[in-house]
Amino acid sequence: PSLVARRVSPYLPMWEARALRAALDGVVRGWSSEDLASHFGLSRPHMSERLKSVGLPSVGRLLVWGRLLHAGRWLEDPGRSAESISRQLDYSSGAAFRRALRNYLGTTPTETEARGGLGFVLDRFLADCSLDHDRRSTGRSAA
């Protein structure tokens, strides 16, 4: 989570950067979209709109990306299998995990690892977001 936050935070207002970090942490806690929104005292639809207003995906998609970012890192570990990662990320099956990789990244677990693991997934996440890359930390919002 800290590597991702460090790379993405310069492009986000403070609250949304904290929301991204919470989503990454929430993945390993098994949080649902409602859990993440509730953590910030918001409804899921309201939080999704707030995230989308700065180019981030909706709460549900952000959690999927969070899972994939964790997977990208764990796929780099020698001896880690896609099946073990899918279980750790609470996918219903290895097939569901591979389907998420294919739908979001267009790759298999082996291809994801070969293309750079976390770095590859993070690049794809940034490409999927419509972040204002001219925004810097001085443009952060209060909340």
**Below-70 pLDDT ranges, the chain:** 131-143
Query: Considering only CA atoms, which of 122, 136, 135 is closest in space to residue 5?
Result: 122
pLDDT in tens, 86-109: 999 999 999 999 999 999 999 999
pLDDT given at position 27: 94
pLDDT given at position 142: 33
Residues 6+ apart with CB under 8 A from 9: 17, 20, 137
Residue 30: helix, strand or coil by DSSP?
A: coil
Report how far residue 128's alpha carbon sits from residue 103's, in angstroms, rounded to the nearest whole number. Answer: 12
pLDDT in tens, 48-60: 999 999 999 999 9
pLDDT given at position 65: 96
